[in-house]
Every structure is written in C-alpha cells, then in structure tokens.
Amino acid sequence: MINKFFIDKDGPLGSRFFTEENQPDTDKRDPFNHDRDRILHSTAFRRLQYKTQVYATHEGDLYRTRMTHTLEVAQIARGIATHLQLPKENENLCEAIALAHDIGHSPFGHTGEGILNTLLEEHGRHFEHNVQSYRMVSRLEQKYSTFQGFNLTKATLSGIIRHQTPFDETNKIKTAITKDISTEVAEFFVNPQPILEAQIVNLADMIAYAAHDSEDALAVGLINWNDFESKLNEAGIKFYSSAIHARLSKRENKFNQSFPNNPETLKKTKNRWLSWEIINHLVQETVKETTNNLSSLDNNDKNALVNHSKPIVCLPESLNSEIICLVKDVLFNSVYQDYRVKIMASKAERIIKTLFEEYMANPKTLPKITQSKLPPEFIFDKGKRTKDQTEELAQVVVDFIAGMTDKYAMDTYQIFTQAYEKTL
C-alpha cells in the first residue's frame, strides 16, 4: 500500500502546536480540512486576489492574480492526489498546503519580494516569500484569543516552509528564517525531502507556472503562436511537438467546422486549450512516474522516505528539464523581460522603497495595530534608537508592506507623495 508513505492524520504531524477544545460531534471535518478552511477564511488569503502574479492586477481582468494562481495550484495538486488514489484527508492536506503556499507573498510579485529582501538585508535580515507564508499563518494574522496565527497542523506547516520549485533557492529559504520560528521549523528540515503531500504541491506549482504563464503570455500578446512554437523547438523542448501539438490541431479543426470565420474567438480559445493540454499531460506523467517510484520503496523499511535524496513525486527527468527550460528560457526571455513588465517592476521598486523609507523615518505613520507589534521598550526617536530596535522596526515595516495589496501600496504611496491626497 503506497498510502503508508503519506501523512497519517492521527500521527505526530496531524497534531498542532497549541491544544484546542474538542470539536463538536457534528463537525465531521478531518484536521487538514480544518486547516484548509482556516486558510480560506483568512484576511491574508483574500488579499491574494489583489496581488500581482506577473502582470499588475489593475491593468486588466484577463490575467492571473496571486489568488487565481493559488487556486489553480490547489486544483492541480488535488487532481494529482486523486489520481494517486490517496484518502480524502491526504487530498485535503495537499489542498491546504497549496492554498497557503503563497499567502505571504508581497505586492508586485517576485519583483516586490526582491526589493523587500534588499531593504531588509541592510538591517541584517532577509525576506523570502515561503518563510513569510509560514510567519503569516503562524504569527502575523491574529484569529484566536489564546494563540497567534491559525494553529495549523504540523503537516500543513511543514509543507508551507518546505515549499520549493526549481525556481526557488533552498539557501535563501533557510537564511530568511527568523528567530521567532527557527526552533519550531527545525523538525521540518530533518529529512532531505519534504513530506509527499508537499512534494505534490511543489510540482503542481511548477506545472501551473508552465501552463498558465504560457497562456497569459499569448493572451497579452507578448509572444505570438509562431514565435512560441519556434522558441520551443530552438530550446529543444520536445513534449509540445510530441504530445500536445497534434491534440491542439485536432481541437482547432473541430472549432473551425463548428464556428467558421471566427478567428479572434479561436485565438483566445486556443490559448486556453494550450494550458489545459499542458496540465493534463504533465499530471498524467507525474502520476506514472510517482507510482513507479512509490512501488520501488520497501514497505517494511520505515526509513524508505528518509533515505531518499530526490523527490518521490516528480516528472520523468527529461520532461522535468524541458519544463524548467520552458519557464526559465522561453517564458523568462519573452515575458518577464518584456519592457511593459519591466516598467511595472520599476514602479514597484519606487513605491516599496518610498513606503519603507517613510515608515522607517517616522514609525508613528504606521497604523496603531502595526505599531503595537513593536517591542514595549521601543524608542520612536530615531536618534536614540538602538541597532536592535532599528532591526526590529525594519522587520515590522517589511511585514506590513508585504501584507499590502498592489492597490493599497499604490494608494499609500500617493498619500505620502501627493500633497493634496486625502489621508482619510
């Protein structure tokens, strides 16, 4: 049984750091279902709707936001878990991890993350969105009267802090771990690889990037179909021509028969087909490879997973390399380097730096609830402030900015820089 290698809801990782009152008998949800619901009903999750994925959230409703990306990752992760025939509670765990994996992301996407890290580095600390996601659900958002955060199960917390795609750097994650969480997350890094449910989410995230960023790039017009297919061939990406191109052509022929002389609708629809076909193909290949990997494990060896240096949940190695190439080479050069994306990145840098400098210079401009997170002995007079207090202030300011939506950050920037902008 492959299920023995996945998390047991009644095992150690099904527990929580803080003891809670027993749930009423009428509540039939498992612990991971509770985690999912706590995340869904949080303020931080709702704000993802107004945070940038690649394109600024205010520049059109056609493109994905951080929330739509998160929901798509959750759906892909749950789909992989279903195909692997995991119990419902393990599907719920995959979904909970996926829903929280970007909950600590800054405004303006990875550009915002990089700027906040640069600013915080000047004060001896680091900003990394996976660590911030962990801090958001365990420290920063107050939901209960007896403990900080959401009090999620250790399994979900483990999946959040161990979230990683080939585009993330492990060292950056470990370097950014703050003192307040360092002790409790240590147990989640004992094994070389994260729990299997987290591995499912990690791969689902990569699949979502490959599929949806391709779709959005074509929809925005940053690349056309001919150039897209040419770049795939030039990069040696074979899965498209071998597994997807023929299916897209078949769909296109059927569409033209049903809706002749409708090229604009076909163009938009074909973009969506591409996304569907990429996801479908990669999920199928993931399930095949993962099933083979699980079957090769010794059921009698309790350390079978611990001793595994590579992820169990994965794509075939050659296909995995092609997906990384698609994102890092084709999409990076065509999308992330586009002048329109660069203009928004430049705006984001100016906005975030200005907000950081204003709050650092005068912490009393922070909302009262944010000021209350500073140590009781904090000195507001900059000239009398200790180095440690300045470092703590920088962390509080970065936490506050990281929690902003794109629009809130832009509006606040306007308040600070425009003389006639209302403050109330």
CA distance 220 to 174: 36
pLDDT tens profile 143-202 = 888 889 999 999 999 999 999 998 877 788 989 999 999 999 999 999 999 999 999 999
Identify the pLDDT of residue 354.
98
Say whether pLDDT at 138 is over 50.
yes
Q: Tell which wins on pLDDT, 150 or 265.
A: 150
State the chain's mean pLDDT as an integer: 91
Taking CA atoms, 357 is separated from 71, 206, 350, 365, 411, in Å, by 34, 35, 11, 11, 16
Mean pLDDT confidence for 101-128 = 96
| CA pair distance 391, 368, nearest whole angstrom | 19
| Segments of 276-350 assigned E as strands | none
> pLDDT band for position 58 (50/70/90)?
very low
> By mean pLDDT, which of 73-87, 93-107, 198-212, 333-347 is the weakest?
333-347
Distance from C-alpha of 80 to C-alpha of 85, rounded to nearest angstrom: 9
Instruction: Of 136-140, 160-164, 372-376, give the lowest mean pLDDT range.
Output: 372-376
Are 308 and 283 in contact by the 8 Å Cβ rule? The answer is no
State residue 280's pLDDT score. Answer: 97
pLDDT at 317: 96
Phi–psi pair at 85, nearest 5 degrees:
60, 45
Name the token pair of 113. 């993350």
Q: For the ranges 15-29, 221-235, 295-309, which has the lowest average pLDDT?
A: 295-309
* 351 has a pLDDT exceeding 50: yes
pLDDT confidence bin for 55, thresholds 50/70/90: low
What residue ranges define each of the domains in the chain, with the CATH number in brackets? 11-20+29-197 (1.10.3210.10), 221-338 (no CATH), 341-417 (no CATH)
pLDDT score at 61: 44
Please return the burial class of 419, using the count of CB atoms within 10 Å of its CB with bins 0-12, 13-18 and 19+.
Answer: exposed
